[in-house]
Structure formats: C-alpha cells, structure tokens
Amino acid sequence: GAGVSQSPSNKVTEKGKDVELRCDPISGHTALYWYRQRLGQGLEFLIYFQGNSAPDKSGLPSDRFSAERTGESVSTLTIQRTQQEDSAVYLCASSLAGGSVSYEQYFGPGTRLTVT
C-alpha cells in the first residue's frame, strides 16, 4: 500500500514569506509526527498528533510555527514569516497507536525547505 507522502518535496522561499507543508499519513495510522532535521544533525521533534488533537506541541520552536490535522488524515505544518534558520528538511511520520506497546514510525520522504 501507499506510504507516507509529503509535498512539496522541495520549497525555496524568500525570507519573510509564509510556507505550508503537507503530510499524508498511511491510512489507519492515528499517530502523526513532525520533525525537523538540519543538515548533518539529528531529528528535532516539533509536534505530535493523536487523531486530530495535539497532546504535545512542546517542540514547536516559536509562535511562527503551527500545525493542524484533519481527522486522522492530512496534516499541514505552517511556518509564518520564514527565517533563514528555518532552512532544513521537514519530516513527517505516522504510526499505529493504542494497545500496550509502541509502534514503529513510517517516515515520509521529507520536504527540503530553503529560505533565501
């Protein structure tokens, strides 16, 4: 079946513009995660959705960042007034949830954001 998809794959934007990144999780996956990865660095947690609620927004770097999720499907990550420091790959992952164990995450290919 289809994996996690993200769009756009690449985005170049001017400093100060707003951008919207999209994630389509695997059907039936109730948990959805956004991460940021700067070049050569580890994964930086941004936000986690369980269904369409976000129990943990602690990773959002500033109030310029926001995210929404519609039901248990598409999520969008919006960055307002982009800064050069926002340049990174933004990764989305989804997983099953529930039960007594944790489930592996399936990652999308990422969106490479470049702010000029």
Partner 1 sequence: GQNIDQPTEMTATEGAIVQINCTYQTSGFNGLFWYQQHAGEAPTFLSYNVLDGLEEKGRFSSFLSRSKGYSYLLLKELQMKDSASYLCAVPPSRDDKIIFGKGTRLHILP
User: Residue 67 in contact with residue 46, Cβ under 8 Å?
Assistant: yes
What are the CA-CA distances from residue 52 to residues 38, 47, 55, 104 (Å)?
27, 12, 10, 20
Q: Does 41 bind partner 1 (CB under 8 A)?
A: yes
**Of positions 29, 33, 82, 115, contacts partner 1 by CB under 8 A:** 33
CB 26, min distance to partner 1, A? 13
| Out of 55, 62, 78, 83, the residue judged to bind partner 1 by CB under 8 A | 55
**Judged by CB under 8 A, does residue 30 bind partner 1?**
no
Smallest separation, CB 48 to partner 1 (Å)? 4
The dihedral of CA 46, 97, 22, 107: what is its sign? positive
